[in-house]
A and B are shown apart, each in its own frame.
Chain A
């Protein structure tokens, strides 16, 4: 089984590296947001900078998971290669695992420019162990988004996935307080915020990197979202029989 996961991961990573536009896109966006929002507004405050840097990493991870994954899966489903791969002697697990591991690698790559910008242009501080735990929190918090990405990819055509994943991405990122801290947002946003998965993921990262105590409702909701998204992704995979007459 593990050799199959390795084979699928290797294959997907090679595709990712050979056509690195996805990698560039998911690295560019958080880096640009970092320069536009974090450096000018929080650059002098070490805690606020550290926290905002964590948020930007989560935004990069979310975009790789929601947009990257849903669009790739939807596009691959439209290629004749996809039904062929389904005839190979492997169940869905190695393919899901390969996708998730490859996306995690993309996420880690997309954090590099964010970390570099934070170190050079802000007063954000972090110890190496805290950074590593923060990255683990990032990968863990990104799991429900990867599952939502898989769900969208298996349900939608690729053109629809491009649009829908963006429509899903921005409100969730904003409501979760990743662009601006939830505390300075309007009342109704503060009420809704703990119930979107990005808030829980953000809470985890902020807690391990800046030592705040997390909002427990948000963390529990992150777990709930993970379960719902896993069920939805599994359902979508089973219902997907490729194109009708392929």
Chain B
């Protein structure tokens, strides 16, 4: 299959900070790839390299067979702004016209706005839109030039569930029509709903690149919290810390951990098991990764 975007051994530094460390990644035509990782992991840097906002320190970045720095190459992609930073004084229709003017294959304005539920808002000033409407407009702009590939950085942050699902449908339609998508998100659920392939980055490296199922199992960790004096060696513990007289353990298998704990006869109290946030799960995985290095 054709490769639409690729990095080969790409490193990017900001002064002393290593944001990406020899990352090699291929994105093929028709894929819907989810990019996951905690803040500062290198997700945004990777996307910024693909869309031509930054240059790599070393290595190669290819987009649609050319360089992302070349404006002509970028006619084939669409990008959504990460934060809702649309110019407040412009009207919805005017901003779509402005963005469309850059592309030879413009999407029809009415159809584009309709696809993202913004039909009635063509004449509305952007400053007067709700947060969700701005967010949807931002995502719609990525599709204004009928791109072959879109880069969606946190497309649904701050949206309610219903608006999020409506946006997902728009992204799915594009993908079913043969479009390629690279998506970042804080919501594991969103990646699960949309992506087939998941790339996990941490500390500037690719930690996992697999199917959604495989990666979900990998990040499906739980936090086991309890009060105890001392703990014996327990199985499957990825990380542990002591805080406010309690011990917090991060584990992939809380059931087995509790069975072993009870079997060991260690006195404990106040047992709690709860899902970790995605952020915590990544911290655990990346911490484990560092230990092994």
Binding site for B on A (CB under 8 A): 3-4, 6-8, 10-11, 14-15, 18-19, 79-81, 83-84, 86-91, 241-242, 244-246
Contact = CB atoms under 8 A, between A and B. Distances in A.
Contact of B44 (A10, A14, A15, A245): A245
19 contacts: A7-B98, A7-B101, A7-B102, A10-B98, A11-B87, A11-B98, A14-B89, A14-B90, A15-B90, A80-B82, A80-B85, A84-B141, A86-B53, A87-B53, A87-B74, A88-B99, A89-B103, A90-B71, A246-B44
Given A14-B89, A15-B87, A15-B90, A241 B53 contact: yes
Contacts of A14: 89-90, 94
Interface string B53-78: 11000000000000000011111010
B51 A87 contact: yes
B75 to A, nearest CB: 4
A11 B86 CA distance: 12
Contacts of A89: 71-75, 102-103, 145
Interface of B: 14, 40, 44-45, 48, 51-54, 71-75, 77, 79-87, 89-90, 94, 97-99, 101-103, 125, 141, 145
Given A81-B81, A244-B14, 19 more contacts: A4-B102, A7-B97, A8-B98, A10-B98, A11-B90, A11-B94, A11-B98, A14-B90, A15-B89, A81-B86, A83-B53, A84-B79, A84-B81, A86-B52, A87-B74, A87-B77, A89-B72, A89-B102, A91-B71
Nearest to A88: B102
A3 B82 CA distance: 27
Given A81-B81, A244-B14, A87 B89 contact: no
B98 A19 contact: no
A28 to B, nearest CB: 21
B70 to A, nearest CB: 9
A11 B84 CA distance: 18
Nearest to A76: B87
A83 B45 CA distance: 13
A-B pairs, 4 with minimum CB distance: A80-B85, A7-B101, A18-B89, A84-B81
B53 A81 contact: no
B81 A80 contact: yes
Contacts of B90: 11, 14-15, 18
Nearest to B72: A89
From A7, A84, A245, name the one whose CB has the most chain B CB atoms within 10 angstroms. Answer: A84
Contacts of B145: 89
A60 B102 CA distance: 33
Contacts of A91: 71
Nearest to A244: B14
A83 B81 CA distance: 8
Contacts of B87: 11, 15, 81
Contacts of A246: 44, 48, 53, 82
Nearest to B54: A241
A79 B102 contact: no
A87 B52 contact: yes
Nearest to A10: B98
B74 A88 contact: yes
B98 A84 contact: no
A90 B102 contact: yes
Nearest to B14: A244
A81 B74 contact: no
From B48, B74, B99, B102, name the one whose CB has the most chain A CB atoms within 10 angstroms. Answer: B102
A192 B90 CA distance: 45
B6 to A, nearest CB: 18
Contact of B89 (A19, A86, A241, A244): A19
Contacts of B79: 84, 87
A241 B52 CA distance: 11
A242 B101 contact: no
A86 B45 CA distance: 15
Given A4-B101, A89-B75, A84 B85 contact: yes
